[in-house]
Amino acid sequence: MSMGFPLHMIAALTVAGSDSSGGAGVQADIKAFASADVHGCAVLTSVTAQNTQAVRSIYPLPVSLIEEQFAAVLTDLDVKAAKTGLLYSAEIVSAVSGVLKDKDFPIVVDPVLVATVGDSLHSTGLVDGLKGELIPMADLLTPNIYEASALTGIEVKDMEDVKKACSILHGLGSENVLVKGGHLGDDATDILFDGSTYMEFKGHRFEGDVHGSGCAFSALIAANLARQMGMEESVRRAKRRISLGFQFGYEVGKGARVINSHHVVDRYSVWKDLFDAIESLKSFLPVENVAEVGMNFGYALPFATDASEVCALRGRLIRVGDSVGSTGCPDFGASEHVSRIILAAAEFNPLIRSAINLKYKEETLHSCEAADLVVASFDRSEEPEGVSSMEWGTRQAITDTGSVPDVIYDEGTKGKEPMIRLLGRNPADVLSKLKKII
């Protein structure tokens, strides 16, 4: 009897080095695979003596042993995707390329050259080996800006350089190129290039280096590809999880923090915090603050990317006699309207994850200013055709202000009720601001 456990699990393969501190390399890859519900298997290319402070030594394994590991895995497991990490030498690149060249599963090449702590992780000839043998068979190449510079011969200093590097690297044969922008600019934007289109994946810049982030990111993409997601979706989901990994990175040694790619997002706690906030709101909100079209209250998962990851009322908060009532319960994906506000704000500051709308009243705006809340607005009459009002308006107000304000309002237009919206880090933060202004 199965006892409810799955009878089969998708497998993904990492071809990389071992990190004795457990923060990067094969160890990071296996944890990342597991976080994406994929079984991880491994071919070790080298053994390193390293920790969160330094790489002390590297011992590349004999090519014959690397090939034996491949044979053991590939003759038994149904591998659906593979990623390469630390390969160290041109000789190992040749061996790995020789095994993988005839495989029909996606291959993600992470061209590891330097450790997070700054130590070299390659020998003479590795760059030429990658360019000549492995990159041409890659479905995705994932260099950071330093690796992109080494592989292309151009110094990558800005986003135009990133695009040039993408084009050059795509010309080496990789079907897709993702240049990671974690060391460039203020918003950690990654650029994905498929040969014709540049796609941006913005992120939040966290302070300090995090051990294992590059390994885990490429492993997460490979895991998503193994689950038969498209390339763009695989990158998008991996970006979200790696952002969580940065936010919840932890200290385990005396050097860099370690990426927490296996952090579990608790959907229930998000739902419960919103549910409790709604019940509290109904107990104190004067009915004259309820919008004519009703109100909604939303709270997003960390680094949410779409409405399915935003919890909101499936219904509205409405006026019921002399009190405020709700016509539904909180649920994920319940409101496109409030989701668009939160997701648009999170593009500028991912820590802003909650929002509520209120009836427009000038006295409420005066109260906001008196409470030292930052107030911004947008004009619906300037809204371009074919865009979402909430996305466009939220972005417009934030762009004009220079940061995410506490309050965004508009004075409406024909057929559109004017509205005030409160934004905050979580429902408790939104309620705190609300109580200041009523």
Asked if residue 1 belongs to a domain, the reply is no
Question: In this structure, are 90 and 199 located in the same domain?
Answer: yes
Mean pLDDT, all residues of the chain: 91
Flag the least confident range among 65-74, 128-137, 245-254.
Answer: 245-254
What confidence tens digit (pLDDT) does each residue in 206-251 have? 777 788 889 999 999 999 999 999 999 999 989 988 888 888 888 9
Indicate whether 17 pLDDT > 50: yes
Question: In the chain, how many domains are there?
Answer: 2
Asked if residue 219 belongs to a domain, the reply is yes
Indicate whether 6 pLDDT > 70: no
Asked if residue 153 belongs to a domain, the reply is yes
Indicate whether 330 pLDDT > 60: yes
Indicate whether 47 pLDDT > 70: yes
Question: In this structure, are 170 and 123 located in the same domain?
Answer: yes
Indicate whether 54 pLDDT > 70: yes
Indicate whether 188 pLDDT > 80: no
Asked if residue 145 belongs to a domain, the reply is yes
Average pLDDT over residues 112-135: 77
* Structural domain boundaries, residue 142: 11-258
Model-level pTM?
A: 0.79
CATH number at residue 117: 3.40.1190.20
Confidence at 1, pLDDT banded by 50, 70, 90: very low
Indicate whether 395 pLDDT > 60: yes
Question: In this structure, are 305 and 432 located in the same domain?
Answer: yes
> What amino acid is encoded at 260 in this protein?
N
Distances (CA, A) of 286 to 368, 395, 438: 16, 29, 8
Question: Pairing between strand 310-313 and 317-320?
Answer: unpaired
Question: In this structure, are 360 and 430 located in the same domain?
Answer: yes
Question: In this structure, are 63 and 182 located in the same domain?
Answer: yes
